């Protein structure tokens, strides 16, 4: 879980450093079978000049995330987007598999859907899930 929280902290840095000059984005994830044990790797690129540039940047960020080599090796672009918002959510309690992400037309919608997916993944007690990063490329 420590790895997951570190990765999400890195995501906030990556997302916050982007500008809104263009509206192309992508999210890349490295998701192992045991998120509670191994964490996840995340890369988000928004406001890029093209879908290919967004995908390349998201993969680069994912593959350099604060996660194990095995988790980073799982990185792949899971969604490209244009003119939308992306968010991730995590259940910060130790030993839980709570993690979710979403891409929607609004930041509040993305955050809400990411939290909902995190709650589903967490199972019992998923109410601890919180959105930990979001960005719009609009």
The tens digit of pLDDT for each residue in 55-106 reads 999 999 999 999 999 999 999 999 999 999 999 999 988 888 999 999 999 9
Q: What are phi and psi of 18, to 5 degrees?
A: -95, 150
Average pLDDT over residues 45-63: 96
Average pLDDT over residues 127-133: 90
Strands (E), the chain: 24-30, 41-48, 76-81, 85-90, 99-104, 130-136
Confidence of residue 4 (pLDDT cuts 50, 70, 90): low
Contact (Cβ atoms closer than 8 angstroms) between residue 33 and residue 24:
no
Confidence of residue 23 (pLDDT cuts 50, 70, 90): confident
β-sheet with 76-81: strand ranges across: 41-48, 24-30, 76-81
Q: Which pLDDT score, from 0 to 100, does residue 118 have?
A: 95
């Amino acid at each position: 879980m420590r790895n997951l929280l570190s990765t999400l902290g890195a995501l906030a840095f990556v997302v916050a450093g982007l500008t809104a000059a263009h509206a192309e984005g992508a999210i890349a994830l490295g998701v192992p079978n045991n998120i509670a044990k191994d964490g996840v790797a995340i890369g988000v690129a928004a406001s890029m000049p093209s879908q290919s540039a967004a995908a390349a940047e998201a993969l680069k960020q994912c593959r350099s995330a604060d996660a194990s080599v095995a988790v980073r090796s799982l990185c792949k672009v899971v969604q490209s987007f244009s003119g939308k918002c992306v968010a991730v959510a995590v259940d910060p309690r130790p030993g839980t598999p709570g993690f979710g992400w979403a891409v929607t037309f609004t930041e509040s919608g993305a955050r809400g859907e990411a939290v909902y997916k995190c709650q589903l993944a967490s199972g019992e007690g998923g109410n601890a899930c919180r959105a930990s990063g979001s960005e719009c490329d609009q």
